[in-house]
Structure 1
Amino acid sequence: MKKQATFLGLLACCLLQFASCTGGPAGKTVYNLSDYGIRPDTRENMSPLIEKALQTIRKEHPEGKELTIVLPAGRYDFYPDQAASRTYFVSNHDQPNPKAVGLALEDMDGVTFDGQNAELVFHGRMLPLSLLRSKDCTLKNFSIDFEQPHITQASVIANDPQAGQITLELAPWVQYEISGDSLFVKGEGWRHCPPICIAFEPETRRLVYNSSDVRMVLSKVKDLGNRRILAEGWKNPQLVPGTVLAMRTWYRPAPGIFLSHNTNTTLKNIQVHYAEGMGVLAQVCNNIQLDSFSVCLKGKDDPRYFTTQADATHFSNCKGLIRSENGLYENMMDDAINVHGVYLKVRQRLDDKTVLASFEHAQAYGFDWGFAGDTVQFIRSKTMELLDGTNQIASIRPEDQDSVCGAKVFRIAFAQALPAEVTPEASIGIENLTWTPEVIFAHNTIRHNRARGSLFSTPKKTVVEENLFDYTSGTAILLCGDCNGWYETGACRDILIRHNRFINALTNMFQFTNAVISIYPEIPDLEHQQKYFHSGIVIEDNEFDTFDTPILYAKSVDGLVFRHNTIHQNQAYPPFHWNKHRIMLERVTNATIEDNQFEGGFDPANDVLQQ
């Protein structure tokens, strides 16, 4: 009997081991990373073990068979040493290469990575997770954080604006040194002197009213002991004792999650608590779903006041459907979502069908801009007017180097003859219409962040509904487009903004912050513009709670509807915005403004300015 029990026990163990490597739910192949020596809560470097395990799984995984990779719950630490080394050119980021990557998921189809609520903690400068050249993949149930964030937190202990002296207490986790008279903060493999900061109210964790980006002087400091420093050259009376500062640079080397050249990607139940770039950056991807993906603090007891260095989510040159729902985006240093393409600039016309065209922004180059068969259109950058008609790419290849990776200039041949105006002298941009997505942004909370709430720049159908924009500090929703500075396409043609609630946006002034909803394409020569840039915009059934005046600003729009909205007035802060009109329209035609409820009444003669 004892022998039989022993045999049955051994058989059960073998079956469990077999299931962990070959069989799982619904016939999926399941790999448990604990079988590869990857253990939680050791504080040891998981980078080389993860890289070796993923290489093994890639070799063993049968093509066409679905696969689940399981990482049991717990804390896992990743260091740059012995991590996967990759050269990635990431849109809207700085481009240091190669990058140390914690989990490099590449060339995998039908893969589910299930972190089972694991905490992934990174050290130094790393790109935590990448997914490239993959199809039908799901990432879910884990969080991303860094042991030593590159943003430095400090509290104001005393401030004498008249004397230009401020006393700061650095947060317990901050490592620092004073070299000469300058304060330097540091971590594993990095050191800098931050030039700027964002100020937060200590209780609410909102940005301090009318403070915006606060310039700092850390070149005349004295160490007072007990993590306190005295800094000279500050003359800012808004930084009252208790104010919490997030001191930062403008550097953004890598996002928390990098997606590139994927089809049908799902991110579910993921929390990014910090990254030195975007929370997630997706480029050249087709169909992305975010469900309960959050860039957020670690609850109400988190001692930190900041999350990511830049946007929470960012989508560049994607197509298909971007669906983002049920997310929490808070305390990041830029927008909750930004969706756009990239304009190339015509640099040389080689013949009637061929041009050299280039990426123009220093943070957006080196990746595929288009492919043979894609549909494009041309735009005059000075007036942001489209040339008539479209064209198709017959062939495209990098001109300044052998591969697309790192390229800035492309030789593009088109199927049809080009208009005579497509020359460098005419300052012409090229937009790839094929790589533009539809967007659904719904049931999200955006709060206490710097800059803006959300940006949408796509000609495809966009629905923004049932979101809470809570003290976004700048504009809550921006519809942009720019072929002169950021080179981010393009015109919105079909956008519906409905059933959202906006609470006290515009507590600070940043770029494009003309109203709670700001339709603000960059047009250097608006005076000579004949056509319109945006069109087909409907804003209805929303609720605005505001302490100030401006609700809607629009420029260069043909077809704008603002109806059935309710505007409540409060006294949370003194009004300060330069725009004293509820609705300001600049070169807008076919506008309908009707059936809105304004507390205190609405006088079109005074509350609407049409230029």
Structure 2
Amino acid sequence: MAALTIATAIATATAGAETIVDMTSYGLRPDTRGNMSPRLTKALADISRRYKGKGAVTLKFAPGRYSFHPKGSHAKELYISNHDQTNPKQVAFWIEGIDSLLIDGNGADFIFHGTMLPVAVSGSTHVTLRDFHIDFENPHIAQATIVKSDSTGIEFEVAPWVKAGHDKNGFFTTGEGWTERQRSGIAFEPETRRVVYRTADLYLPLDSVVPTGPRRYFAPRWRNRAMLPGMIVAMRSWARPTPGIFLADCTDIRISNVKVHYAQGMGLLAQMCRDITLEGFEVALRGDSDPRYFTTQADATHFSGCKGHISSTGGLYEGMMDDAINVHGTYLKVVGREGARTLRARYMHGQSYGFRWGEPGDTVQPIDAPVMEPYGNPLVIASIRPADTPDIAGVKDFDITFTTDIDTAITAAGGRFGLENLTWSPSVTFADNTVRNNRARGSLFSTPRRVVAERNLFDHTSGTAILLCGDCMGWYETGACRDVTIRNNRFINALTSLYQFTEAVISIYPEIHRLQDQKGYFHGGKSYPGIVIEDNTFDTFDAPLLYAKSTDGLIFRRNTITHNADYAPFHHNRFAIKLQHCRSVEITDNSAPSTLSMIVE
């Protein structure tokens, strides 16, 4: 379309300085089945050139279905926290350096192909994403139905949309520009869509499959008595190259009535952002008639190194392969020292590096990693610069100079010390959400600022419903929780499978390698409210309700506990409440069929 024609098709609203762009004027028309990527890439570049810095802009899409393929999309080198650092990423919606933008989908279905990052917003402020769906035509997770299971192996049939085959290395699936070999799986009950009781992560030895009919394969080495005919298995690898929505270095982002039905990584990943609001955001199936049983490869929403306030309200999170929400920072490991005020510190996890960690003026706390205790006084950054790369992209090592001298004991010796950025830590509201039928956990909070989780339904989360964690020797995810309120939530049959950190329905479980040497406590603290769990309803088939480790200040009160016979109890922890190295604990006025059993270690 010629530039003159484009210009005449753009209407400017009379009220204020808002510009409303009809995206059909750029040839972005629904229901054509053509590849819209080239047109979208050109449209966004043109709109940015015309309207950046000139007031609010609204991009309006017509309702309907739009297809986006890698060809013609925006190729961009991006390092995304908690994802595979493979580059470049093929981005459909690339938004960079924009102020006051609204993308209004009017209920549109944005359908992606191959390996793509659907939406990325970088270095922008006051951006709203509203009323659209994100999905993939051919997901990288392969869904299959168990046809036969006995001592000789398992026969399964892949879903109609799955493109499968086999070769000398076994079973594989393919799509536009990709091939996957599934080695793990999650089993779902066909009627309820819940994760099958006591199955957790399935091992899938599919290296010797043989075809038995159209879309059917027999795996002689896959033998599992828990697998019954009719069960649905989401077969997966552990690859997670891209989320559905990526936010980086942004301020004041609002996402309203957006639904992610599949993403190869997380549903939404935000890093180094300030103030994010999710309203009615969903990582969910397309209703009860959806033939799929899974959504995202990992977390529904994930916030890494953010600050300000994160709010997630009125959402639905189901069928994902990890948490509904995970909020944390990232510990750097001290790997060198130069003089009295400079440390070299490193991103340690292979899926978390390559992006900004802090800036001058930030407050940083050294951490003694084996015992997970603060070491010395907080420090203030005077300067921070990449040490192993010319710029931030791809960085692993930083040289950080502080405004005051560093304790002389803090060196690289023994890999003992980590650094936590206290400035880049957010407060969180997680309210009126439904979390159900997913793998591993319901929600995970690791931030020292105020967290409120209230009026949520955690329905068959499979693992722990709420986790407060922190570790400086594995995932390197900060940090200590000081002020957490968990109230008026309903928990239904968590812990039907065991994964990492699944000690109770609510697990306060920091990773502390030498707990016996810890002098203080990780979570809570005298000068903080601590962790308050009140007025919740627990409907459970098993014993453990609350597990807490290294916590100073814990209240468990006015909760209602009922037990059902939906499943046979099996958890190794037979105590309703288990406390390990805790103090200032109050357990009062809880309603239960009998006295709550408790052990204190």
Report the CA distance between 1:24 and its aligned residue: 5.7
The equivalent of 1:257 in structure 2 is 245
Checking the alignment, whether the CA contact within 8 Å between 2:321 and 2:438 is kept in structure 1 is yes
Whole-angstrom CA distance in 1 between matches of 2:270 and 2:248: 6
Contact 1:19 1:30 in 2 (8 A): no
**Secondary structure of 1:48's match?**
helix
Per mean C-alpha deviation after superposition, the further-off stretch among 236-245 and 176-185 is: 176-185
Q: Distance in 1 between matches of 2:560 and 2:538?
A: 6
Code of the residue aligned with 1:557 in structure 2: it is T
Mean Cα displacement is larger for which, 311-320 or 64-73? 64-73
Q: Secondary structure at the match of 2:326?
A: strand
Say if 2:206 is the partner of 1:212: no
Which amino acid letter does the alignment assign opposite residue 348 of structure 1? Answer: G
Give the equivalent residue in structure 2 for 1:93: 83
Task: Summarize the alignment of residues 238-387 of structure 1 with structure 2, pairs less than 5 Å apart.
Answer: 238-387=226-375
Distance 1:541 1:17 in 2: 58
TM-score by structure 2 length?
A: 0.97
Q: Distance in 1 between matches of 2:573 and 2:314?
A: 33
Instruction: Name the SS of the counterpart of 1:125 in structure 2.
Output: coil
2:544 maps to amino acid = P
Q: Counterpart of 1:376 in 2: which secondary structure?
A: strand
**1-side partners of 2:181 and 2:283: how far apart?**
25
Counterpart-to-counterpart distance in 2, 1:96 and 1:25: 45
Q: Distance in 2 between matches of 1:82 and 1:56?
A: 15
- 1:451-473: CA deviations, max 9, x gaps? 00000000000100000000000
Which residue of structure 2 aligns with residue 564 of structure 1?
A: 558
Partner AA of 1:544 in structure 2: F
Aligned to 1:114: 104
Listed as ranges, the matches of 1:145-544 within 5 Å are: 145-160=135-150, 162-163=151-152, 165-180=153-168, 182-425=170-413, 427-535=416-524, 536-544=530-538
Contact 1:181 1:221 in 2 (8 A): no
Measure, in 2, the Cα distance between the counterparts of 1:389 and 1:97: 39
Q: Structure 1 residue 130 and structure 2 residue 124: aligned? A: no
* 2:79 paired with 1:79: no
The answer to whether 1:597 aligns with 2:588 is no
* Structure 1 residue ranges (4+ consecutive) displaced by more than 6 angstroms after TM superposition: 16-19
Figure out how many residues of one structure are paired with residues of the other and give that number: 591
Q: Which residue of 1 aligns with 2:568?
A: 574
Q: After TM superposition, give the deviation of residue 20 of structure 1 in Å.
A: 3.9
How far 1:558 moved relative to its partner? 0.4
**Pairwise CA distance, 1:62:** 4.9
Deviation at 1:21, TM superposition (A): 2.9
| Structure with bigger gyration radius | 1
The CA distance in 1 between the partners of 2:133 and 2:139, in whole Å, is 15
Post-superposition CA distance 1:100-137 (Å, at most 9, x none): 00110111100111011110000000000101100111
In structure 1, distance between residues paired with 2:536 and 2:276: 27
Q: What pairs with 1:17-36 in structure 2 (closer than 5 Å)?
A: 20-23=10-13, 27-36=17-26
Does the CA-based 8 Å contact 2:546-2:578 persist in structure 1? Answer: yes
Decide whether the 8 Å contact of 2:52 with 2:99 is kept in 1: no
TM-score (normalizing by structure 1): 0.95
SS in 2 for 1:59: helix
Whole-angstrom distance in 2 between the partners of 1:589 and 1:392? 31
Letter aligned with residue 449 of structure 2: K
- Report SS of the residue matched to 1:476: strand
Q: 1:403 to 1:62 in 2, by over 3 A?
A: closer
Q: Tell me how far 1:352 sits from its aligned partner.
A: 0.9
Q: Give the Cα separation in 2 of the matches to 1:562 and 1:351.
A: 48
Q: Distance in 1 between matches of 2:85 and 2:222?
A: 33
Task: Report the secondary structure of 1:206's partner residue.
Answer: coil
Structure 1: give runs of 5+ residues left out of the alignment. Answer: 1-13
User: Per the alignment, in what secondary structure is the counterpart of residue 49 of structure 1?
Assistant: helix
> Structure 2 matches for 1:34-73, cutoff 5 A?
34-73=24-63
